[in-house]
Amino acid sequence: MTKTQKIVMLVITTIVLVVGVWGTIYASQVHKQVEEAEKTVKAEELSIQRVTEELSKLLDQKDPSYLAENVTEEQVATLDQQLKQSEFVFQDVSVDKKLLKEHVDAYESVQEKADKLMGSIYGKMELQRGINALFQSKDKVAMNGAKVEKELAIINDGLTEEKIQSIQKIMPKEETAFTKDVKGLIENASGQLKQISTAKEAVSKIYKDNNVVLTDQKLYDKAKAETDKIKNEKTKKELTDQLGKAKAELYKKAKEVAVTQTQETATKDQTEQATTGNANASVGSNGANWTPDNDATDVGS
C-alpha cells in the first residue's frame, strides 16, 4: 500500500469514526427530545383531563343537560383559559408529532372531549343568560341550573317578540329536559308580552292620549279583566291608573244619568198629579151644576 493510499484510508477511517460518533450523539439527542416531548404531551393530557373533571362539576349531577346551580362565567372562563394553555403547550412541541403518535392520539382524544364539553357549557350559559334577561325579579332568576321559576314577570322596557325569538334561534336541535324548560320560558315570555298588548289595546278604546275617549261599562270591564292578567307590576299600574280615570268618568256619567232620571221622574209625577187634579176639578164642577128641580122638571115634562 502506497503512502497516498494509507493517507486516504486514514482520512476515510477518521470520517467514519466522526460520523459514527456524531450519529450516536444525534440519535441520543433525538431520543432525549422525544422523551421530553412525550412527557410534555402526557402532562398536558393529564392537565386537560383535570379540566374536564372540573367542567363536569359545572353540570347538574342528576341531569347533565342542565348547568349546576350558581355557575359563573368567571368559572368557565378560568377553565377555558387552562384548556387553551394546554393546547398552546402541545402545539409548541417541536418534535415531529409522528414520533409521538401514541401520546398524540391520547392527547387529541381528551382534548376533543374537553372542547366539546366546553362548547356545550358555553351554549347552556348563553341560553340561560338570554332567558334570565327576559324576566325581572329582585331576588330570583327564571333559570338557575335545573331550578326554574315559571311565575316571574317579564321585563318592562325594550322587550320585543323579536328579542324573545332570538333565543329560540340558538337552541340546540337535541331535545332535553333543559331545552324543554327553555322553550317553556320562551312561550311564557311571549304570552306575557301578548297579554300586555291585548290589555293596552282594550284600555285604549276608553282612554287614549291622556283623555277618556269613551264611557262604556262593558268596554271598561273587558279592559280591566285584561289588565288584571298582567304580571309586570309597572305596566299593570300604568294601565290601572288609566282605568281609574275612566272609572271616575263612568261614575260621573252614571251620577248625571241618575240625576237626569230623577228629574224626569219628578217632572213626570208632577205632570201626572196636575193632570189628575184637573180631571177631578172638572168632575167636581159638573156635579155642582146638577139640582133635583131640574130632574123633576124633566120628569114632569
Whole-number pLDDT of residue 215: 83
Q: What's the rounded mean pLDDT across residues 33-57?
A: 90
183, pLDDT greater than 50: yes
What is this structure's pTM?
A: 0.73
d(C-alpha 57, C-alpha 235), whole Å = 40
21, pLDDT greater than 70: no
Q: What's the rounded mean pLDDT across residues 155-172?
A: 92
Whole-number pLDDT of residue 252: 85
The larger pLDDT score, comparing residue 280 to residue 36, is at 36
Sign of CA dihedral 245, 247, 252, 253: positive
**What single-letter amino acid sits at 260?**
T
- Percentage of residues in the chain with pLDDT exceeding 90? 59
- The answer to whether 39 and 107 are in contact (CB under 8 A) is no
Whole-number pLDDT of residue 126: 97
For residue 35, CA distances in Å to 44, 86, 89, 111 come to 14, 18, 16, 21
Whole-number pLDDT of residue 222: 97
pLDDT band at 286 (very low <50, low <70, confident <90, very high): low
Q: What is the pLDDT of residues 209-261, one digit of tens each?
A: 989 888 889 999 999 999 999 999 999 999 999 999 999 988 888 777 677 77
Whole-number pLDDT of residue 92: 85
Q: Please report which residue ranges of the chain form alpha helices under DSSP H.
A: 3-56, 73-91, 101-132, 161-168, 177-204, 217-228, 233-288, 292-300
- Domain spans of the chain, in order of start: 30-153, 187-265
Whole-number pLDDT of residue 5: 61
Q: What is the pLDDT of residues 127-137, one digit of tens each?
A: 999 999 999 98
Whole-number pLDDT of residue 230: 97
d(C-alpha 271, C-alpha 249), whole Å = 32
The larger pLDDT score, comparing residue 173 to residue 254, is at 173
Convert 121-148 to b/e letters by CB count within 10 Å (16 or more is b).
beebbebbebbbebbbeeeebbbbbbeb
Return mean pLDDT, the chain.
84
Q: What is the pLDDT of residues 95-112, one digit of tens each?
A: 777 877 888 899 999 999
d(C-alpha 82, C-alpha 80), whole Å = 5
13, pLDDT greater than 80: no
Whole-number pLDDT of residue 290: 44
Whole-number pLDDT of residue 299: 38
Q: What's the rounded mean pLDDT across residues 39-68?
A: 95
Whole-number pLDDT of residue 167: 95
Whole-number pLDDT of residue 6: 60
The larger pLDDT score, comparing residue 26 to residue 152, is at 152
